[in-house]
Amino acid sequence: LITLFLVAVMAPAIATADWVEESNANTLMVMEAQAQMAPENFSSLGIESVDAEVMDLGPNLYERSQASSRELIATLEERKKTTENPRVLQDLDILIKSLNDQIRTNELEYKYMLPYFNLSQSLYFGFRSLLDPRNDPARFPAALERLKKYTGQADGHQPLTDLARERSSERFAVPGLLGPYQGELEKDLGNVEQFKAGLNKVFTESGLEGWEEDLALLTGQLDNYAEWVKQEIVPRGRDDYRLPEEIYADNLKNYGVDMDPRQLIRMAQLGFADLQMQMQSISAGIAKDRGWKSADYRDVMAELGKERIPEAEVLDYYRNILKELETIIRDNELVTLPDREAAIRLATEAESAAAPVPFLSPPQLIGNTGQQGEFVLVTHSPTEEDGGEVSDFGSPASTWSLTAHEARPGHEMQFASMVESGISQARVIYAFNSANVEGWGLYSEAIMQQYLSPEAQLFGLKARLMRAARAFLDPMLNLGLIGTEEAMELITRDVGLSKTLATQEINRYTFRAPGQATSYYYGYMNLMSLRAEVELRMRDRFNQRAYHDFLLKQGLLPPDILRQAVLTEF
């Protein structure tokens, strides 16, 4: 009887392990091929065999990349013919779709855009990922090999800066190609010094020896490359930030937003107006309790924003907020919390220069041996003339929704679940898009909303209002339906962001990542729609902790496959 019981209990687990193993073999084939051209990306995921390799910027890069993707698709299509497990088939489709999407993106970039490489930023984040203190120090010496390859000192390697010049300049004579936006070039060139300092810092803190001369050579090459960019790329830069409509639509698709931009605008504007009414209702109560003359939500948020957390206490304050959120989650059975603590730290200067907003630094996704994600707090933008204080996250009322989004029950739990649940690598890496990830972050804010103080609720709605604004301002700017000054006024006046953060928002829509900002609200709406459907079907049988645990265990499935899993399994 004991034997029969163990067989019955273990059989589903064995079957699951079998399908994941089969799926991962397919994914490994794709990763090995793609790592030939972008090894730093796969090193950052945890594939140690490519730690010392460097990006391929050799001749015929476009042609070679497209041919490789098409060969992979053909092989995967053949494997589909002999695959029986439905989950493995789903993962094969995920891989094929990802490759087809990459082919299409490459075609559009090659057709419309002049190649341009922001090398100082790319190299900083590549080394920052490899020399991350969370990694096994045994991986660190590979950084020394990378250095010699980047600088051209290793046999068979040219300086990366020379290759980048060649790939850009060989396309100078092609008529009609669009250069980078002037605002992007100005920002990138202004950040070079921060990234050089960041490179020195990560090597210094790594404990490695013998890197100083090689890094000095590399940073000198980066300086020369920046001068070349000023002389050759800046004159070819474009004054209009707008992208060709084909490329913008492709951006939306790659970020997981499967909606016509004009339909997205209408949906988001409706959500924006509804959120303003909710905020006005809460603000009236806060103003009355505090004896404030104006009950307008804009004025109430401004007054609450004057309450500041001392800079020296910011990190401890956020850690205490996280503990209180965890108590709420346990008491109300919202989701199953891990036994371990979540990690929170302050951003480095280079991280703040690249993206002066708080974020989650994900854990190692492949071969994880206990590494955790980190909620990274950004308090200022070091490249701004005045130091660029990001005041939006320094008031007590603003801390709750941000911590819920980036830590728990948001991204920190989302990525930890992917690592710890044994999800197939296709669902972790190749199903990954911004709508899947950020939709959960915004949904996490929403499920905490009712348990917070009125002040924290107001700032939680402010955060959602910003995401709704993104979902219509980003496409409106890129379709020429609104100007940057008008968008800036709406963000600062009606959403209540600081000038520093509002500027970063405009930069995001216009040249940093056109289309990406729409993914938060779009992904959130998908998750809310799915939950509404499930609750209507289950009624009193609906258990939100079980539901949220199920969602987290699915990885980053596309919305249609996630819905199928929820309706057929949950």
Question: What are the pLDDT digits (tens) for 142-160?
Answer: 999 999 999 999 999 999 9
Instruction: Give pLDDT tens digits for 523-556.
Output: 999 999 999 999 999 999 999 999 999 999 998 8
Which runs of consecutive H residues, i.e. helices, occur in 479-543?
484-490, 499-507, 519-538
Whether the upstream peptide bond of residue 86 has omega within 30° of 0, thus cis, is no
Answer for the pair 325, 405: CB distance below 8 angstroms, yes or no: no
The more confidently predicted of residues 315 and 365 is 315
Calpha distance 103→108 (Å, rounded): 9
Confidence of residue 367 (pLDDT cuts 50, 70, 90): confident
Burial class (CB in 10 A: 0-12, 13-18, 19+), 327: exposed
Instruction: For residue 506, give every residue at least 6 positions away whose Cβ sits within 8 Å of its Cβ, in sequence order, or none.
Output: 477, 484, 487, 488, 491
- Res. 12 pLDDT band, cuts 50 70 90: very low
Q: State mean pLDDT over 217-240.
A: 98
Q: Give the C-alpha separation, 357 to 505, whole Å.
A: 10
Q: What share of the chain is helix, strand, coil (3-state, %, to 5)?
A: 70, 5, 30
Helices assigned H by DSSP within 81-211: 86-112, 119-130, 142-151, 160-169, 182-206
Please state the rounded mean pLDDT for residues 53-60: 98
| 359-361 vs 374-377, strand pairing mode | antiparallel
User: How far is C-alpha 52 from the geometric centre of its chain's CA atoms?
Assistant: 25
Q: Which pLDDT score, from 0 to 100, does residue 348 have?
A: 85
Q: What is the three-class DSSP state of 368?
A: coil
Query: Between vectors from CA 569 to CA 563 and to CA 570, what angle results, nearest 5°?
Result: 80
Residue with tokens 């296709």: 426
| Whole-angstrom Cα Rg for the chain | 24
Q: Are 102 and 95 in contact (CB under 8 A)?
A: no
pLDDT score, position 381: 61
* Residues 431-458 as b or e (16 or more Cβ within 10 Å = b): bbbbbbbbbbbbbbbbbbbebbeebbbb
The pLDDT-based confidence of 10 (bands split at 50, 70, 90) is very low
Tell me the per-residue pLDDT of 300-326, one tens digit each, with 9 for 90 and over.
Answer: 999 999 999 998 999 999 999 999 999
Question: Other C-beta atoms within 10 Å of 490: how many?
Answer: 17
Cα-based distances in Å from 291 to 283, 295, 355, 454 = 12, 10, 38, 15
Asked if 560 contacts 567 with a C-beta cutoff of 8 angstroms, the reply is no
Three-state DSSP state, 64: helix
Q: Is the pLDDT of residue 285 over 60?
A: yes
State the average pLDDT over residues 69-93: 97
DSSP code for 363: P
- The mean pLDDT of 119-137, rounded to a whole number, is 96
pLDDT at position 422 over 90: no
Cα–Cα distance for residue pair 513/478, rounded to 1 Å: 11
Average pLDDT, the chain: 93
Amino acid at position 530, single letter: L
What is the sign, positive or negative, of the torsion defined by CA atoms of 42, 47, 51, 53?
negative
135: nearest Cα among 367, 412, 432: 367
Assess whether pLDDT exceeds 70 at residue 564: yes
**What mean pLDDT is predicted for residues 85-108?**
97
Share above pLDDT 90 across residues of the chain, in percent, rounded to a whole number: 86
Q: Look-up: residue for tokens 């220069």?
A: 353
Q: How confident is the model at residue 383 (pLDDT cuts 50, 70, 90)?
A: low
CA 81 to chain centre: 34
User: Would the pLDDT of 1 be above 70?
Assistant: no
- Tokens representing 565 are 């899993």
Question: Of 39-48, 268-277, 374-383, 466-475, which range is least confident?
Answer: 374-383
Give residue 11's pLDDT: 36
Residue pair 403/325 in contact (Cβ under 8 Å)? The answer is: yes
pLDDT tier at 559, thresholds 50, 70, 90: confident
pTM of the model: 0.91
* Residue 395: strand, helix, or coil: coil
Q: What is the mean pLDDT of residues 472-490?
A: 97
Phi-psi region of 291 (alpha: psi -120 to 50; beta: other; left: phi over 0): left
Q: Residue 351's pLDDT is what?
A: 85
Nearest to 452 by CA among 396, 520, 373: 396
